[in-house]
Amino acid sequence: MASYKILSVKARADASVKLDVYVYPTGVDTEDPETPSIGHFDVVLNAAQVKQAEGMTNGPRAAYLKTLFEADPRITGVVISEEAKALLDGWYTWPITITL
């Protein structure tokens, strides 16, 4: 699974919060400033849904917020792209030449 580094959260006027998210490949050091990200996008969460986590302990709150975060279709896209990369890496040794 990829790693997601959330740099900040901002309140929005439409009753949501925006997370500034960078995506890193599986198994890399996200704290190393030299590690290149494989993507960057904002994840927008419904503020009322986030507020439902108020009063939860750390474990259940983290699981609940993860569910909200994973609902963004781009997160699913990252998972699928990592699976596709693993397949291609298993099939081929890079670089390859394709003749059309």
pLDDT in tens, 44-60: 999 999 999 999 999 99
> DSSP letter string over 27-95?
T--TT-TTSPPSEEEEEEEEHHHHHTTTT--HHHHHHHHHHHHHTSHHHHHHHHHHHHHHHHHHH--SS
pLDDT in tens, 54-100: 999 999 999 999 999 999 988 888 889 889 999 999 999 999 999 99
Q: Does the pLDDT value for residue 10 go beyond 90?
A: yes
Domain residue ranges in the chain: 3-91
Residues in the chain, total: 100
Q: Are residues 29 and 35 in contact, defined by beta-carbon separation less than 8 angstroms?
A: yes
What pLDDT does residue 27 have? 84
Peptide bond into 60 cis (omega under 30): no
